[in-house]
Structure 1
Amino acid sequence: MTAFRPAMVPPLFAALLAGAPVQAAQVQTSAGALTIAPVVQGLEEPWGFGFLPDGTVLVTERAGRLLRVADGTATPIQGLPKVQAGGQGGLLDVMIPRDFTTSREVWLSYSVAVRGGAATAMGRGRLSADGQQLEGFETLWTGDPAQGGRHFGARLAEAPDGTIRLATGDRGTGPDGMQAQDPASSIGKVMGFTRAGKPLPSPDGWAPGVVSIGHRNVQGAAFGPDGSFWVAEHGARGGDEVNRVEPGRNYGWPAISYGVNYNGATIGTGTTAPGMEQPSHYWDPSMAPSGLAIWTGGQMPGWTGSLLVGSLKFDHIARLDPAQGFAEELIAAPETGRVRDVRQGPDGALWFLSVTNGALYRMAPGG
């Protein structure tokens, strides 16, 4: 992740931002008054987004559309994989690798129908020169099957060395299902892949590509500029977590949790167990975290080093400051309804998706 450099703002961003004050609102934050302006509206259950080098934004809709957003207009892209859109599944995250200018690759995560139920999958295609088609799309990896339509995880992130991380959920198996604790299963894990889509080496007895175990439902993932990898994941009733993921570690679910089962019963052995990691931060009550960005300065330099996490439950964006014991600032406005994804844009602004409003927004100083 690179710091914001004003001279590198793509021309398409400049054109888009020239009209940003239209329908704009303001919110008071620790960085002062910030303006929130819609980039595109009329989205149907948006899930993830990413930036192309020319300033175009790609947005996924869970029902199965990938949209190319430019000048406030969203145009569907053709050539997508067949997804199973039901429950929490469908077309989920999109990731644009750093070498897009030469590779033209667009990576997607999604749920697919398989024998035995449904699974989290990952694949890639190459965006055509006219931006209308994903050419040669191929599914590179499909996880283990499970019944039901919950907890697919599916956040994608590119590591500084160009390898890929994909987070998978526990598929809603609950506190009694131990797949997330089974290192031979891909369910409830952080997975690692080469740029060719091959699983990275894993410890003996672990499924190929498994980086870490014991995750419930990762809905936010990002690499920091120092190479650290962070995830935000849903707990049960309470116990939503932010974790700094280290290879070979066990993050506890469902053996330990700071939440309780939906019937009020204790989950596992409580909050601690030998060989299991403690979260860097947790929420109780749950705020349903979704999307995670690690702030590198941009137009709000006082936020440098903070984690920005959206809330699907309480309609805000949480700014967590690791330097202050993960002290939390809540950024709330009518536009922050059910925030699904958050990113620091190439222009140094905070961009986020609202499911409630069906819109992509940009937040930054200015009138």
Structure 2
Amino acid sequence: MKRLTLFAATLPGALLLASCGSGYSTDGGTEAASTPAPTDIEFAITEHGSFNEPWALAFLPGTDRLFITEKSGTMKFVNTKDGTVGTVSGLPDVDYGGQGGLGDVAFLPREARLRSAMRTIYLSWAEAGEGDTRGAVVGRGNMICPTTKTCAISDLEVIWRQTPKVTGRGHYSHRIAVSPDGQYLFVTSGDRQKQEPAQDTSNTLGTVVRLNLDGTPAAGNPLAAQGSPSNEIWSWGHRNLLGIDFDSEGRLWEIEHGPAGGDELNLVKKGQNYGWPVRSNGDQYNGTDIPDHTADDGFAKFAINWTPVIAPGNMAFYRGDLFPGLKGDLLISGLKTEALVRVAIDGESAREVARYPMGKRIRSVIEGPDGALWVLEDGEGGRLLELRPK
């Protein structure tokens, strides 16, 4: 564990003003107004070791143990009180390569009150199929930690599969969010770089799905009458959704990668079609134009659109009191921007208000139990960083 005396204002290339010049509002192209960022947010950063292609992190409810997935298929944890690093057994076989491997990790917040040491764990990963195909899955199991340096997952079973499995190793998405009432799982299902299936609701590519905690389709989903797998879908017309979280009002938001331009932050609503690949404010990588969103195009509109892209890794709403100025705002981990991107929410509108440069590609950011921020750098040797007020 290494403590660094670093500040947002003194990191290389620090930006203490908002970088909103590339953001766009929901009316389909108006440039968003720039708002100065608070100048009193300074980070003291503590290092907690490095990891092999870390992808996601989550605290075990009711404990100080922070679990970290590594894309190649391993998982570790850090006791954030004493710095102990431990290993996790009982992990699934993953299809590692490209953007695929071990993905997200989630727990049930309500289990923080359990007297039992066992907790429910949800994992996502890329699973191989027949004929060089693969797809994302979500599994559920039990987590128990018999020693200070070891934890084990038992009874892990796949409870949801992205449908269908296809060729390629991109755009799995497979982020997991538990609803505020603790009753449902929301899972992001990317378009797997196939594009057109995102408009075809007979499959789950390019969608957000809403499930019961056991992985079955939740009652009240908008396409329930169409049968499986359409009965899993909550929204569709998405590309590569790498962040998903609920705000303080219980509303679901997601952030996704656009093509060449057009990263989007969306307020996710039941039964809405967000337009991909028919509409996007980005273009195809070969330069082919994709029609921009317009007010009358019939699709749900983004809250913010970024060109140039920020390349989001994940996102998390800040609910704590340790950084009072951040409360209610959204923090996005930036891969291309090598920054934490801060967004303020006002009703159904949103605006970028600040970027806090980190000097490395940032894969994930979450809030810890006491309001500290926990950040994962991307790639081999990606560090775990704890951010507190200076």
TM-score past 0.5 threshold: yes
- Among residues 121, 129, 146, which one is paired with 1:106 in the alignment? 121
Deviations 1:148-184 (A, max 9, x none): 00000011000012211100111012xxx31011111
Post-superposition offset of 1:238: 0.5
Deviations 1:224-269 (A, max 9, x none): 12110011100001000000101100011101001011111112x4
Post-superposition offset of 1:301: 1.2
Matched, 1:350 2:370: no
Match of 1:59, as an amino acid? I
- Among residues 58, 71, 90, which one is paired with 2:101 in the alignment? 90
- Among residues 44, 50, 69, which one is paired with 2:58 in the alignment? 50
- Structure 2: how far apart are the matches of 1:80 and 1:297? 32
Post-superposition offset of 1:317: 0.7
| Equivalent residue, structure 2, for 1:128 | 144
- Among residues 289, 293, 304, which one is paired with 2:327 in the alignment? 304
Higher mean C-alpha displacement, 199-208 vs 349-358: 199-208
Match of 2:341, as an amino acid? A
- Structure 2: how far apart are the matches of 1:327 and 1:146? 36
- Among residues 163, 172, 192, which one is paired with 1:152 in the alignment? 172
- Structure 2: how far apart are the matches of 1:299 and 1:160? 21
| Equivalent residue, structure 1, for 2:4 | 23
| Equivalent residue, structure 2, for 1:188 | 206
| Equivalent residue, structure 2, for 1:14 | none
| Equivalent residue, structure 1, for 2:71 | 62
List alignment gaps of at least 5 residues for structure 1: 1-18
- Structure 2: how far apart are the matches of 1:36 and 1:129? 30
Alignment of 1:196-215 (within 5 A): 196-201=214-219, 202=221, 203=223, 204-205=225-226, 207-215=230-238
- Structure 2: how far apart are the matches of 1:282 and 1:104? 38
- Structure 1: how far apart are the matches of 2:86 and 2:314? 23
| Equivalent residue, structure 1, for 2:356 | 331
Post-superposition offset of 1:23: 3.2
Deviations 1:302-323 (A, max 9, x none): 1222110011112001001123
Tell whether the 8 Å contact from 1:93 to 1:155 is kept in structure 2 after alignment: yes
Alignment of 1:242-261 (within 5 A): 242-261=265-284
Tell whether the 8 Å contact from 1:241 to 1:279 is kept in structure 2 after alignment: yes
Post-superposition offset of 1:31: 5.6
Tell whether the 8 Å contact from 2:138 to 2:158 is kept in structure 1 after alignment: yes
Residue aligned with 1:99, SS: helix
- Structure 2: how far apart are the matches of 1:64 and 1:284? 33
- Structure 1: how far apart are the matches of 2:292 and 2:7? 42
Post-superposition offset of 1:187: 0.5
After superposition, the Cα gap between the structure-2 partners of 1:44 and 1:38, relative to the gap in structure 1 and judged at 3 Å, is: farther
Tell whether the 8 Å contact from 1:189 to 1:215 is kept in structure 2 after alignment: yes
Alignment length, in residue pairs? 341
Residue aligned with 1:154, SS: strand
List alignment gaps of at least 5 residues for structure 2: 10-15, 17-37
- Structure 2: how far apart are the matches of 1:122 and 1:297? 29
Which one has more relative contact order, counting CA pairs under 8 Å at least 6 apart?
2
Match of 1:72, as an amino acid? G
After TM superposition, what 4+ stretches of structure 1 lie above 4 angstroms from structure 2? none
Residue aligned with 2:151, SS: coil
- Structure 2: how far apart are the matches of 1:238 and 1:90? 26
| Equivalent residue, structure 2, for 1:76 | 87
RMSD: 1.8
Return the TM-score normalized by structure 2.
Answer: 0.83
- Structure 2: how far apart are the matches of 1:194 and 1:309? 27
Tell whether the 8 Å contact from 1:183 to 1:205 is kept in structure 2 after alignment: no
Post-superposition offset of 1:33: 4.5
**Identity of counterpart residues, as a percentage?**
33
| Equivalent residue, structure 2, for 1:13 | none
- Structure 2: how far apart are the matches of 1:280 and 1:180? 20
Tell whether the 8 Å contact from 2:303 to 2:350 is kept in structure 1 after alignment: no
